[in-house]
Structure 1
Amino acid sequence: MKVLIIDDEINIHKTTSIALRTMGHEPYSAYSGSQSLSKLDENRIDVVFLDLRLGSENGLEVYDRIRAAGHEMPVIIFTGFSSISSAIEATKKGVFDYVLKPFVPEQIRQTLERVGKQIALKSKVVELESQVSEIVPPVLFDSQEKSMQQIYRLAQRAAPSEATVLILGPSGTGKTVLAKQIHSLSPRADKPFVVVHCPSLSKELLESELFGHVKGAFTGAVKDTWGKIDSADGGSIFLDEIGELPMEIQAKLLRFLQERQYERVGETKTRTGNVRILAATNNDLQAEAQDGRFREDLFYRLNVISIHMPPLNERRGDIPKLAQHFLQHHAKQMARPQCRFSEDCLAALARYDWPGNLRELHNVVERCLILCDDGCIEVQDLPPEVQLGSNGDGPNAPLKIGGPFKLEDIEEAHINGVIASAKSYQQAARILGINKTTLYRKRKRKLSLEREHISETEFAI
């Protein structure tokens, strides 16, 4: 951890710094309240040791100024026997702990161990809150397909190393899930796993998101901000859709990969980061590097270990098991544990091409569970596009071109299939030959009809 010592006695700084370095921590020194605030602005500090009698200053007042400036790290008070009552008062105000002077290194060690546990617990809580907010089923790393078994073995072998891993494959194939698994199997598992979505922000905001910025670096930068590299210290950063990374940031990322050094936006001070880089893209980075749209040197830096996630239609043997897995998850959430798929329905799921891959399968299973009237999900409960991708005859036969089906059902199936494979609604509208407003209107009408069906079902129940 990075530890700031705020004390007016040089001997305290020397002895505490030696003890901290022996324990593997990095000490910083400040001799006054104003100097301490400058140090806190310049560096990401994990914990502060603060003397209650700081020359002519009152340590509690310095503590209040630290909190008023927005610094929330644990603060540990140095105090003598005569000021224990003040230390107790400080504890009531939110100070983490206090250490009596004179002290021995073991006291420092025990206090910092408690701080470390608190930091790890907060990191775990944030990660769990993120997982809960995503409301996704637990990961299923089991496959009937030899190609997937080889991918999982490769991921397990790569996880304990510090090598950069590049995960390739179409959208929705589970690249983020695999990156989380690699992190969880690595020595960094108890440290943060931080995700950066490269296409979601402008170049300026993405650079700040990754590296951080100082106050006044650009319009809207009203305070110093530490980036994702700093917040992932000791852990892993997952760069999602790295193929969309702007060229200017590619150069800075390359430098970080080579030297582990970076600067915050608007700052000249060079900093170091201890993170492992995991990345994913659905682009052909090698082709883009050859065409000059992606830095070739960065591609080779990223491509230390590459893992290709195949589309779902290339692992059809896993579809029934994955569907059952998703069904169990949502059935438990909806208190409908008796729900199941019919054999014909599972066969239909396995025949469909799934342009949206695992993400589309997950959404289809959730939809079926909501719309089915009894405990068995049949072929007719599937979306039209999934039925259209199946075979069969009879009154409940799946949709197919030239069959006895309404034109609106065929249209809906085609629209849903295009949306699932397109990168955006704008691209889907362009493929369909209609404007985006028309596409929104058609989708809105369908969603309204589905909501009416759900409401009628609930009323009947």
Structure 2
Amino acid sequence: MDQVEKMATFSPMNVLIVDDEMNIRKTMKMFFDLLHHKVTTVSNPKDALLEAGLQIFDLAFVDIRLGLESGLDLVSSLLAKLPRMKIVVITAFASVDTAVEAMKRGAVDYLPKPFMPDQLKLVLERVEALRTLELRINLLQDDLDRNDPDVSLSSTHPPMQRMIELARQVSASDAVLLLLGPSGSGKTMLARLIHRWSHRTDKPFGVISCPSLSQELLESELFGHVKGAFTGALRDNPGRVAGCEGGTLFLDEIGDLPLSIQSKLLRFIQEREYEHVGDQRTRKANVRIIAATNANLKSAVAAGSFREDLYYRLNVIQITLPSLAERSGDIEAVAGNMLAFFNAQNHKAIQGFSPEVLKIFRDYGWPGNIRELRNVVERAVILCTTTMIGEELLPDSMASAVQPQIRIGDRIKLEAIEELHIRRVLASTSSVHEAAEVLEIDKATLWRKRKQFGI
């Protein structure tokens, strides 16, 4: 049994049982409880749809006859709310016609009454096999759609090694994580890896970039909305929290989250409860939160732009990613990993980088970190017509930015020392604001210096 099969077979499911016979509900609940699945039982379509609006189900067993109501009609209604849910219809009035009609409505299997535990177990195994197949397809599709190479986990830089070990350790827990580091240092990729290493790996991983949406749209994207909640809300939107049920939600640049939404996020983290925009019904969700920022949240708390209680709730476990310039010994390996990725993507067989290019890579300050290196390697692969990437394929600004080693007291212009110092401070800080504070100059002056030196 491979890793994907283990994930699907042993992952507990949230099961809904809809049957108007109390004994059937009790018996099935006992069966699924013994297998450590979470079970909700109801006796009618109204309660089934109510539960489907409050929580995400993986599997539902629906009786075809529910008093005077049709379970077949309920199949379509449930799938309209939860498209990824698997539905098995059960009935004492088995026929080929009803089986065919159930499948047309979206059911994945059919179970005639009376049934024994072995029959129920066989149906469950078929559903789990289907989930395994869908998981394989999703993982393959992710690989096909992937635009970025995987993060290299080998490092000679001790802080990076400790960071990777810490990330592996905390992936096994459900604790909230706060990822810190300069822009482009790989926080999103690390969040994806933590999700892959966790027991939630077969559940969704969602990403929300907090600065990219207006306040109204951000709240809707996060918690969902009902039709008519605001101008342009033409249909219900379940939101990312509901969409990531059982999985992980990554909030990038959390420092830009508006104050009005911060209180709602805090409540969700503490109580796992939230409401759709425009709806008073309280919903619950089991979603792990990973947040990231390149800003100084302590300063934001002091300035009143970030809630102190949310900061401490997010800061349960903090993981800091070093800048690429700090781990210059890893640059060759990281660049090689990217070269292999872009070789495959562009159907090329480039063997490596020239010694001159590798020297420039080691000496360059990388203010854009891994994101900048990715762009440089991708550009070089696209332009390369030989088996080796030479320095002529690097951006002109990059080669000119690399300066020879300078020591205090060397017979050089003061301006050269100033430029080198500014470059190194920019490479070692997480933002222009922080760099200006270290240099004790205002941001406008730093901007002019960057323009002067072509940084």
**Which category describes the TM-score, using the shorter chain as reference length?**
0.7 to 0.9
**More relative contact order in 1 or in 2 (CA 8 Å, sep 6+)?**
2
Deviation at 1:384, TM superposition (A): 0.9
CA contact (8 A) 1:3 1:27 kept: yes
In terms of mean alpha carbon deviation, does 109-118 or 266-275 score higher? 109-118
Deviation at 1:84, TM superposition (A): 4.9
- Choose which of 48, 62, 73 in structure 2 pairs with 1:50: 62
Task: Report what 1:287 is aligned to.
Answer: 299
Q: What is the alpha-carbon distance in structure 2 between the residues aligned to residue 192 and residue 247 of structure 1?
A: 27
The C-alpha deviation readout for 1:402-452, integer Å capped at 9, x for no partner, is xxxxxxxxxxxxxxx9xxx889xxx99x9579xxxxxxxxxxxxxxxxxxx
Task: Report what 1:156 is aligned to.
Answer: 168
Q: Does 1:172 align with 2:172?
A: no
| Aligned amino acid, residue 26 of structure 1 | V
Q: What is the alpha-carbon distance in structure 1 between the residues aligned to residue 26 and residue 302 of structure 2?
A: 55
CA contact (8 A) 1:339 1:369 kept: no
**Percent of aligned pairs sharing the same letter:** 45
Q: What 5-or-longer segments of structure 2 have no aligned partner?
A: 1-12, 405-412, 414-426, 434-442, 450-455
Q: Does 1:139 align with 2:151?
A: yes
Task: Report what 1:379 is aligned to.
Answer: 391
Q: How many residues align?
A: 402
The C-alpha deviation readout for 1:36-71, integer Å capped at 9, x for no partner, is 545544553433322223334444344455557785
After TM superposition, the structure 1 = structure 2 runs for residues 1-400 of structure 1, keeping only pairs within 5 Å, are 1-23=13-35, 24-32=37-45, 36-37=48-49, 39-41=51-53, 43-64=55-76, 71=83, 73-80=85-92, 82-91=94-103, 94-119=106-131, 121-122=133-134, 125-126=137-138, 128-391=140-403
Deviation at 1:300, TM superposition (A): 0.8
| Aligned amino acid, residue 252 of structure 1 | K
Q: What is the alpha-carbon distance in structure 2 between the residues aligned to residue 322 and residue 377 of structure 1?
A: 15
Q: RMSD value over aligned CA atoms?
A: 3.1
User: Do the aligned partners of residues 42 and 312 (structure 1) sit closer, same or farther apart at CA in structure 2, a change above 3 Å counting?
Assistant: closer
CA contact (8 A) 2:209 2:252 kept: yes
| Aligned amino acid, residue 239 of structure 1 | L
The C-alpha deviation readout for 1:12-44, integer Å capped at 9, x for no partner, is 344444444454322141425x66545544553
In structure 2, the residue corresponding to 1:225 is in which secondary structure? coil
CA contact (8 A) 1:44 1:226 kept: no
User: Do the aligned partners of residues 128 and 267 (structure 1) sit closer, same or farther apart at CA in structure 2, a change above 3 Å counting?
Assistant: farther
- TM (normalized to structure 2)? 0.79
CA contact (8 A) 1:4 1:47 kept: yes
In structure 1, the residue corresponding to 2:95 is in which secondary structure? helix
Deviation at 1:344, TM superposition (A): 1.1
In terms of mean alpha carbon deviation, does 94-103 or 367-376 score higher? 367-376
| Aligned amino acid, residue 319 of structure 1 | I
| Aligned amino acid, residue 165 of structure 1 | L
Deviation at 1:213, TM superposition (A): 2.0
Q: What is the alpha-carbon distance in structure 1 between the residues aligned to residue 371 and residue 349 of structure 2?
A: 22
CA contact (8 A) 2:350 2:386 kept: no
Deviation at 1:337, TM superposition (A): 1.3
In terms of mean alpha carbon deviation, does 170-179 or 64-73 score higher? 64-73
CA contact (8 A) 1:380 1:387 kept: no
Q: What is the alpha-carbon distance in structure 2 between the residues aligned to residue 38 and residue 170 of structure 1?
A: 45
User: Do the aligned partners of residues 143 and 125 (structure 1) sit closer, same or farther apart at CA in structure 2, a change above 3 Å counting?
Assistant: same
Q: What is the alpha-carbon distance in structure 2 between the residues aligned to residue 315 and residue 211 of structure 1?
A: 38
In terms of mean alpha carbon deviation, does 141-150 or 37-46 score higher? 37-46
| Aligned amino acid, residue 188 of structure 1 | R
CA contact (8 A) 2:76 2:106 kept: no
Task: Report what 1:455 is aligned to.
Answer: none
In structure 2, the residue corresponding to 1:178 is in which secondary structure? helix
Deviation at 1:220, TM superposition (A): 2.7
CA contact (8 A) 1:331 1:339 kept: no
